[in-house]
Amino acid sequence: MIEVLNTPLFLTWEVTNRCNLRCKVCYNASTDMHPSEINESEASFIIDAIADCKPIFVNLTGGEPFLRPDIVKIAKRFIDKGTDPQLATNGSVYNEEMFLQMKSIGVKSIQVSFDGFEAAHDAIRGSGSFKRALKTLKFLIDNGFSAKVGTIVTRLNYLDIAEFTKYFYELGIKKLGVFRFVPTGRGRENQSLQLDADDLVWLQEKLEQLESRYGIAFFKCDHSLAVFLGKKKNAGGCELGLKCLCIKPNGDVLGCPFFPVVLGNVRETSLVKIWQDSPILKEIREDIRPERLLGKCVNCPNGIKEKCRGGCKALAYETTGSIRQPDPRCWR
Amino acid sequence: MYKRAEVKWREEGDGIFIFCPVRSEMFKLNATGRIVWAEIEKSLPDQIAKIISTEYNIDHETALKDVGICISDLVEKRLVMEV
């Protein structure tokens, strides 16, 4: 039976669509501000709506959140509300004053994206972006932030994962996020960067060895590598409809950043009401039940199906139009 | 015992979700675990067992055993630390 929580546990807020980079893997195709982006006067309302959900994890991202002039005020209001937000940045907006303001108001966790070493990273994110991100990361580490590294694994970087881990471990990073490339948004134009099923299994096993060797904590999107169960305990499947919501720059609410179906808009309907009453969410929760899954999931043991839920629902939807179909990269 | 500073939690129904942002792992405790989590920093196992025993009308020995298992689990999952 699918357990439905009273409110989402994890919330992502894409505070802006504006970005100074044009990453090939961007699921949002972020460029300029959204024409009806949540403005500064509305931001408090959004923060309060998120706080009402009592989430245990809030991720502020974009676009590039540090391009938003009021990002420090946004972060401060979250902290005043008793929620510690994490910021996810591409690291190329280097602003020491802003970083130190974040520190002074109590922001602890900032994640900087690195899609491999310099050649691979710059091939994805643009020339010079690796150096700028590294400068940002070092500043954050030196100034006592709980800095994390986030990496999107693609054909350009996955084989370097051991050296990559060692490099950042030696810099002082204790948390490394490994995210699967989900080719939506601008990523649709770069599908060849995706890893195939065998590569993902190899990667999962490699991460477990590296975790053991360095004691570094790997965290992964639930729809990601942890889908390949039996390799890591406490791994869970896709959390669409079950634990997370995403607020887009214009207030649209999605079940997950990669899943394009709009559930409502936070300007019009409370997040709690969307979570509890959205007919689309109800349908999603119905469709991800093990007995409703199709394709190769039909013959998969119940013990796995119940946790895996057919893998990444965004990818299943992107490739087949149905969340009942399996993840196209399922290794079974 | 004390809860690790980075751990976050939320009560849900009669259970509790505990999230470790360091490892991005989530755990769910049942109603017994919820009581253990609520009391772990201020009460000894024996005292926690007494609360559970009263709450659920079970014998103290069974409750104490459950508390011990729960605490060991929380330590193993690195959600709490021994003083």
Instruction: Give ipTM to 2 decimals.
Output: 0.79
- Residue B59 distance to chain A (closest CA, Å): 31
Q: Touching check for A206 and chain B: CB below 8 Å?
A: no
Cα A240 to Cα A258: distance, rounded to the nearest angstrom? 10
What pTM value is reported for the model? 0.91
pLDDT for A14 beyond 90: yes
Percent of chain A with pLDDT over 70: 93
Cα A237 to Cα A223: distance, rounded to the nearest angstrom? 5
Q: Touching check for B61 and chain A: CB below 8 Å?
A: no
The average pLDDT across A74-81 equals 96
Cβ neighbours for A263, distance < 8 A, ≥ 6 positions apart: A245, A253, A254, A255, A274, A278, A280, A281
Q: Touching check for A272 and chain B: CB below 8 Å?
A: no
pLDDT at A76: 97
Amino acid letter at B15?
A: G
Compute, in degrees rounded to 10, the torsion defined by CA atoms A266, A317, A65, A82: 50
Which of B19, B22, B26 has its CB closest to that of A217?
A: B22
Domains (ranges, CATH) in chain B? 2-81 (1.10.10)
Cβ neighbours for A3, distance < 8 A, ≥ 6 positions apart: A242
pLDDT at A29: 85
Which of A6, A175, A234 has its CB closest to that of B12?
A: A6
Which of A56, A86, A174 has its CB closest to that of B19?
A: A56
Tokens of residue B57, six digits:
């009308």
Cα A53 to Cα A31: distance, rounded to the nearest angstrom? 30
pLDDT for A235 beyond 60: no
Could B10 and A234 be called an inter-chain contact, meaning their C-beta atoms sit closer than 8 Å? no
Supply the mean pLDDT for chain B.
91
pLDDT at A230: 47
Q: Touching check for A276 and chain B: CB below 8 Å?
A: no
DSSP string spanning A176-227?
A: EEEEE----GGGGGGGGG---HHHHHHHHHHHHHHHHHH-PEEE--TTTGGG
In the predicted model, residues of chain B with pLDDT beneath 70 are 22-24
Q: CA distances (Å), A131 to each of A30, A84, A118, A138, A147, in order?
A: 21, 28, 7, 11, 17
Q: Touching check for A79 and chain B: CB below 8 Å?
A: no
Residue A122 has φ and ψ, to the nearest 5°, of -70, -30
pLDDT at A153: 92
Q: Touching check for B3 and chain A: CB below 8 Å?
A: no
Q: pLDDT, tens digit, for every residue of A203-234?
A: 888 888 888 888 776 666 544 455 554 455 54
Residue A246 has φ and ψ, to the nearest 5°, of -130, 135
pLDDT at A197: 84
Partners of residue B12 in chain A, C-beta under 8 Å: 5-6
- Residue A49 distance to chain B (closest CA, Å): 17
Q: Higher confidence at residue A197 or residue A267? A: A267
pLDDT for A59 beyond 50: yes
Q: pLDDT, tens digit, for every residue of A186-206?
A: 999 999 999 988 888 888 888
